[in-house]
Structures are given as structure tokens and as C-alpha cells.
């Protein structure tokens, strides 16, 4: 009888240890799941903020072209310094004082995909004149996004001028806001 009680005691200790290990494993799995959910929620909130910022910034960029020239010094750029230099070089290729396309590719090819630079065209749109620019699509391309960098599939339209511009726009976190760090121009 003592052996039976001893055996049952040992068996109950073994089962309680096994249950404790399972409980610990379950607790860790739940904590990992909660941590991932929290990270995903933060990323989702940041991408929604970036999307709102991007739409507003692009539409404001083209809101009043006459007023813009008067306040150029006060205007805050929506582009990173690097992208602004890159696009300025792309605009001025083969103009007086501008670089050649080969020199442009050599200079910027390591950082940007120069195939989609929009050579000879302006920032964000290729048209020189516009009436009213609006964003008709702005979708996060999550497979290309990281913690501080997001890529959006954007359709910029000027319905009155009957112009559409499909762009992939890379947005990076900058302080409490965002900046455009690349624009892939497909038209």
C-alpha cells in the first residue's frame, strides 16, 4: 500500500511538472502573440498617419502654384535632402549645365533606381501645367515596408487636365512627421 501511495505521489509530481511546463510554454506563446499584435498595431497606426500625411502633402504641394513662388523661402520641403538633389539632377539632364544621363546613373545608381527617375520632368508629376491635383489612390505596399520606411502605390490625378500619374512613393519617418525619399515614376 505504501508503494502504491508512493507511486501515485511520484506520478502526481511528474504530471504537475509537465503541466507547469505546458503552462509556461502557453504563457510565453500568449506573450509573443500579444507583443506581435502590439507591433502590428503600431505599424498600422504609423502607416495610416503616413498615408494621411502623404495625401495632404501632395495635394498641398500643388494647391496654389502662384502663391508658392512668393513663399518659397518659408516653404518646408516634403522631400528628403537626398531625394531632392537626385530629382533636381534628373530634371536638369542634358540642359545647359546639367549632367549627362550616364553621369546621372553613375552618381545615383547605387541609391535610387534611375530607370524610374522621371528624367526631364518635374517633382511627382510629369506635366508642366496642372489645374487641380488630387490623390485618387494611396495604398500601402506592405511587402516593401519596414519599421520606418513605407512604400505607397499612389495615383495622382488632374481630372480637369485629364492626366493620371501612377507612382510608387517611398515615405520615411522623420521626427514627428514623414518625408518622401523616392518616387518611382511609371509614365
Contacts of 116 (CB under 8 A, 6+ apart): 168, 183, 184, 185, 186
What average pLDDT does range 34-41 have in this prediction?
Answer: 54
Question: Between the CA of residue 184 and those of 41, 145, 165, 181, what are the distances in Å?
Answer: 28, 15, 10, 10
**Residues found in the chain:** 187
CA 35 from chain center: how many Å? 22
Residues forming beta bridges with residue 183, ordered by sequence position: 169
Average the pLDDT over each of 36-45, 73-82, 169-178 and give the range with the smallest value: 36-45
CA–CA separation, 55 and 53 (whole Å): 6
Reported pTM: 0.73
CA–CA separation, 170 and 181 (whole Å): 5
Residue 20 confidence (pLDDT) above 60? no
Residue 9 confidence (pLDDT) above 70? no
Residue 67 confidence (pLDDT) above 90? no
Nearest 10 degrees: CA dihedral of 69, 74, 75, 77?
130
**pLDDT-based confidence at 105, cuts 50/70/90?**
very high
pLDDT tens profile 155-164: 999 988 889 9
pLDDT tens profile 117-147: 999 888 999 877 888 899 999 999 866 566 6
What pLDDT does residue 186 have?
87
Amino acid at each position: 500500500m505504501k508503494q502504491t501511495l508512493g507511486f501515485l505521489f511520484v506520478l502526481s509530481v511528474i504530471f504537475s511538472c509537465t503541466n507547469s511546463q505546458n503552462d509556461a510554454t502557453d504563457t510565453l506563446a500568449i506573450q509573443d502573440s500579444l507583443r506581435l499584435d502590439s507591433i502590428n498595431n503600431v505599424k498600422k497606426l504609423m502607416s495610416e498617419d503616413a498615408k494621411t500625411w502623404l495625401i495632404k502633402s501632395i495635394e498641398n504641394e500643388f494647391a496654389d502654384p502662384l502663391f508658392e513662388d512668393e513663399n518659397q523661402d518659408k516653404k518646408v520641403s516634403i522631400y528628403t535632402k537626398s531625394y531632392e538633389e537626385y530629382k533636381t539632377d534628373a530634371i536638369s539632364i542634358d540642359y545647359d549645365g546639367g549632367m549627362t544621363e550616364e553621369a546621372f546613373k553613375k552618381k545615383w545608381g547605387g541609391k535610387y533606381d534611375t530607370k524610374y527617375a522621371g528624367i526631364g520632368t518635374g517633382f511627382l508629376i510629369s506635366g508642366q501645367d496642372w489645374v487641380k491635383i488630387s490623390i485618387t489612390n494611396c495604398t500601402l505596399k506592405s511587402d516593401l515596408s519596414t519599421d520606418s520606411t513605407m512604400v505607397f502605390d499612389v495615383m495622382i490625378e488632374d481630372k480637369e487636365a485629364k492626366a493620371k500619374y501612377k507612382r510608387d512613393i517611398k515615405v520615411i519617418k522623420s521626427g514627428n512627421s514623414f518625408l518622401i525619399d523616392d518616387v518611382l515614376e511609371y509614365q
